[in-house]
Amino acid sequence: MFRMVELIAKKRDGHPHTEAEIKFIIEGLTHQAIPDYQISAWLMAVYFQSMNEEEAFYLTKAMLESGEQIDLSSIDGIKVDKHSTGGVGDKTTIALAPLVASMGGKMAKLSGRGLGHTGGTIDKLESIPGFNTGLSSGAFISQVNTIGCAVAGQTADVAPADKILYALRDVTGTVPSIPLIASSIMAKKLAAGADVIVLDVKVGDGAFMKDASEAEALARVMVKIGEQYGKKVTAFLTNMNEPLGEAIGNRLEVLEAIDALNGQGPADFRHLIIDLAAAITYQAALYPTYEVAQNAAQTALDNGQAYARFEAFIKAQGGDLEAFLHTDSLAPVRVKAPHSGTVQSMAALDLGLAAMHLGAGRAKKDDVIDPMVGLKIFKKIGDSVQKGEVMAEIYSRTVADDSAVLKAITLGEKAVENPPLIVKKIGL
């Protein structure tokens, strides 16, 4: 029907593709009927010429239809989901899923492993002894019906075209393309079967998207794609110029999520999960207004309902929470301020990479994660610090070098305001 060389030239010259053309490309990719070098050339053309909203929708649809679409119809009520574009110290799902469940939501969450500075949600949860992420579809659905949430590993059958396409993007310098990112994320989210989706789009030094205007453009494209599928989609732009919360590292982040579920821990992390939970449950029509949903989320944290749901969630998936909580942490090395001042900025990505080098993340896919290691960063941008005050802790199996942490935290004399955590809300 089509010749790939002509489609490459069409996009190279800035012309939009039809739905049939994009379907031809994705089917050819999936069935290996189009060689990698032609797909790579097409990706570069897309990178430079971009795609309009219709093309992004067609690309999402084609990748979605390349594999399995999960049927959640046997789950009672409105099914909800959340996606984060990833950041330093992002343990949000671990606290958000039971919080939403305690508010009456049904969160059926498929998550992945991490490649980078820390593990993914699955890696973090597997720091709890016995926790099982390999749920059958029947067990997954049954658990969501009874407890209100489940977190399982992503199946290879969901959007297989995306996996192939991303591998090519990764080696051809075409990853940072808004329509390609949007369709990659939304194909997997739509395949997961939820009715309501909340997107946490990180922006800043520790995020994939460094520029706020580009992050907003990405968020708007994803919201539009979801709406075209009849889903209720909200996007939050959230600040990642400093780590979320204090903990960076798998076990440390689970412990911090537990603190948040008990109404404790870092204020920024509690603020985020309350607002995300409010957006999810309001969009699912569980509460009459967003403000009422916010109050309900705060109440669930304060009265123990959220933590009780977390305990049930961990037990249902085989986790031994008592063993986890009574495991001794590594002895931390304290990082002290070399002089007094105000925190001017943080190199959030460098802090994440420092945690990775301790063993908290993977530089290569076959690297083994050490769930015990990581960092805790006690200061935020704008905080005052006294000479000798503890700014951070390093949890390491070896002799810890604090130079990377000290270099990532800039102290100065100028007064600085802490930037807002939530930069913008789209679709709410």
Q: Dump pLDDT digits (tens) for 19-47.
A: 999 999 999 999 999 999 999 999 999 99
The predicted structure's pLDDT at residue 367: 82
The Cα-based distances of 389 to 7, 272, 339, 350 in angstroms read 61, 27, 9, 21
At 156, is the pLDDT very low, low, confident or very high (cuts 50, 70, 90)? low
Which of the following CATH numbers is that of domain 4-49: 2.60.120.10, 3.40.630.30, 1.20.970.10, 3.30.310.50? 1.20.970.10
Is 266 a residue whose pLDDT tops 70? yes
Q: What is the mean pLDDT of residues 308-333?
A: 96
The predicted structure's pLDDT at residue 115: 59
Which tokens belong to 317? 């998936």
CA distance 246 to 252: 9
What pLDDT, in 10s, does the model give residues 211-231?
999 999 999 999 999 999 999
Chain region(s) in the chain for CATH 3.90.1170.30: 333-412
At 157, is the pLDDT very low, low, confident or very high (cuts 50, 70, 90)? confident
The predicted structure's pLDDT at residue 116: 64
What pLDDT, in 10s, does the model give residues 73-125?
999 999 999 999 989 999 999 999 999 999 999 999 988 776 566 778 999 99
What pLDDT, in 10s, does the model give residues 236-246?
999 999 999 99
- Looking at per-residue pLDDT, the higher value among 1 and 285 belongs to 285
Which tokens belong to 388? 């000798």
Chain region(s) in the chain for CATH 1.20.970.10: 4-49
Chain region(s) in the chain for CATH 3.40.1030.10: 79-324
What pLDDT, in 10s, does the model give residues 382-402?
999 999 999 999 999 998 889
Q: Please name every residue paired with 343 in a beta bridge, in sequence order, or none if there are none.
A: 411
Is 374 a residue whose pLDDT tops 70? yes
Percent with pLDDT over 90 in the chain: 86
User: Domain 333-412: which topology?
Assistant: Aldehyde Oxidoreductase; domain 3 (3.90.1170)
At 159, is the pLDDT very low, low, confident or very high (cuts 50, 70, 90)? confident
Q: What is the mean pLDDT of residues 330-355?
A: 96
At 420, is the pLDDT very low, low, confident or very high (cuts 50, 70, 90)? very high
Q: Please name every residue paired with 346 in a beta bridge, in sequence order, or none if there are none.
A: 409
At 154, is the pLDDT very low, low, confident or very high (cuts 50, 70, 90)? confident
Domain 79-324 bears CATH identifier 3.40.1030.10: yes
* Full 3-state SS string of the chain: CCCHHHHHHHHHCCCCCCHHHHHHHHHHHHCCCCCHHHHHHHHHHHHHHCCCHHHHHHHHHHHHCCCCCCCCCCCCCCEEEEEECCCCCCCHHHHHHHHHHHCCCEEEEEECCCCECCCCHHHHHCCCCCCCCCCCHHHHHHHHHHHCEEEEECCCCCCHHHHHHHHHHHHHCCCCCHHHHHHHHHHHHHHCCCCEEEEEEEECCCCCECCHHHHHHHHHHHHHHHHHCCCEEEEEEEECCCCCCCEECHHHHHHHHHHHHCCCCCHHHHHHHHHHHHHHHHHCCCCCCHHHHHHHHHHHHHCCHHHHHHHHHHHHCCCCHHHHHCCCCCCCEEEECCCCEEEEEECHHHHHHHHHHHHHCECCCCCCCCCCCEEEECCCCCCEECCCCEEEEEECCCCCCCHHHHHHEEEECCCCCCCCCEEEEECC
Is 275 a residue whose pLDDT tops 70? yes
Q: What is the mean pLDDT of residues 159-177?
A: 90
The predicted structure's pLDDT at residue 330: 94
Q: What is the mean pLDDT of residues 315-329?
A: 96
The predicted structure's pLDDT at residue 170: 85
CA distance 342 to 384: 4
* pTM beyond cutoff 0.75: yes
Count Cβ atoms below 10 Å from residue 176 Cβ, excluding itself. Answer: 14
| Catalytically annotated residues | 83, 162, 169, 184, 188
